[in-house]
């Protein structure tokens, strides 16, 4: 019996191929589950809110005193807001576009939606010196989407920057805003940040949040293009800062000064790493 031997390079390539197959399967499974949840939201919560809206409209036509009329009007407005948020959630959960559009097109769609709902046009810089692997398009898109949703709901920002770049070893995403910021130690357990962390961790990447009250927020993500890069030293390389990312543009984003919503001087603490590198264990 002849034993077939493989070089370390061949083993690394086989490892990468296997890992990409696993990620593709995971992405397909996640997409199917997201679509199922979207259907359930539409068919259950969506229909219930529609029925409640009709009931409130009927009640508003009945005779009522001033206080009752005001309460009905406020309830009707709340139902309209809830209906709008459910529709946005259903739209966000749907992932049909992820299979056909590039990361540039997907981010452009997010930016247009963000501008339409907030009046703020995020500044976007995308420099893909190395093509972004297909298995990283969905995670980069979803993390950007969640970061923008958090900014829309909580940050009260007036300026937003999105940076996406690739190198020979990794893909990097930075989303920065000049909003009111928050205490990372108190907020880092929130579902939004936790979801972003989980997406990065499964890809053997690094996720960090740098924020202070009154100083805005900066979310940084670094993901290896191939899993074999983890063992070759990529995990010892910190995610690039904004000034480290090369841009082929006259308006270098590192030269743009975001004016924060407060002038109070607060000592900046180092970024808190939410997710550390985890070794890939195939023995289980």
Lookup result for tokens 């899993």: 227
The DSSP call for residue 95 is -
Looking at domain 103-275, does it have CATH number 3.30.565.10? yes
Q: What is the pLDDT of residue 202?
A: 86
Please determine, for residue 264, whether its predicted confidence score (pLDDT) is greater than 70: no
Structure confidence by residue, pLDDT tens digits, 50-96? 888 888 888 888 877 888 888 888 888 888 888 887 877 777 777 66
> For residue 125, which of 173, 170, 177, 196 has the smallest C-alpha distance?
173
Please determine, for residue 13, whether its predicted confidence score (pLDDT) is greater than 60: yes
pTM above 0.85, yes or no: no
Structure confidence by residue, pLDDT tens digits, 105-154? 999 999 998 999 899 999 999 999 999 988 899 899 999 999 999 999 89
Question: Are 162 and 124 contacting, i.e. CB atoms less than 8 angstroms apart?
Answer: yes
Average model confidence (pLDDT) across the chain: 76
Structure confidence by residue, pLDDT tens digits, 16-55? 777 777 777 777 777 777 778 878 887 888 888 888 888 8
Lookup result for tokens 């289980």: 284
DSSP 159-214: -EEEEEEE-SSEEEEEEEE-S----HHHHTTSHHHHHHHHHHHHTT-EEEEEE-TT
């Amino acid at each position: 019996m002849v034993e077939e031997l493989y070089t370390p390079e061949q083993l690394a390539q086989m490892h990468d191929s296997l890992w990409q197959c696993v990620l593709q399967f995971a992405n397909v499974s996640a997409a199917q589950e997201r679509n199922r949840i979207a259907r359930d939201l539409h068919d259950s919560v969506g229909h219930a809110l529609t029925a409640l809206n009709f009931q409130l409209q009927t009640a508003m036509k009945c005779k009522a005193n001033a206080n009752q009329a005001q309460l009905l009007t406020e309830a009707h407005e709340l139902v309209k807001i809830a209906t709008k948020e459910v529709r946005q959630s259903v739209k966000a959960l749907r992932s049909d576009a992820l299979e056909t559009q590039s990361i540039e097109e997907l981010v452009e769609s997010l930016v247009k939606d963000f501008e339409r709902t907030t009046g703020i046009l995020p500044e976007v810089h995308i420099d893909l010196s190395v093509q972004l692997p297909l298995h990283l398009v969905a995670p980069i898109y979803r993390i950007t989407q969640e970061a923008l949703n958090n900014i829309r709901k909580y940050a009260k920002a007036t300026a937003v920057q999105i940076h996406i770049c690739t190198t020979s070893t990794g893909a990097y995403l930075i989303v920065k805003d000049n909003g009111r910021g928050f205490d990372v130690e108190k907020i880092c357990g929130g579902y939004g940040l936790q979801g972003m962390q989980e997406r990065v961790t499964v890809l053997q990447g690094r996720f960090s949040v740098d924020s202070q009250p009154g100083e805005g927020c900066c979310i940084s993500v670094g993901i290896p293009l191939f899993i074999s890069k983890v063992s070759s030293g990529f995990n010892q390389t910190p995610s690039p800062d904004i000034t480290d990312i090369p841009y082929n543009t006259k308006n270098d984003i590192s030269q743009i000064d975001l004016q924060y919503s407060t002038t109070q001087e607060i000592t900046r603490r180092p970024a808190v790493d939410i997710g550390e590198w985890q070794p890939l264990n195939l023995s289980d």
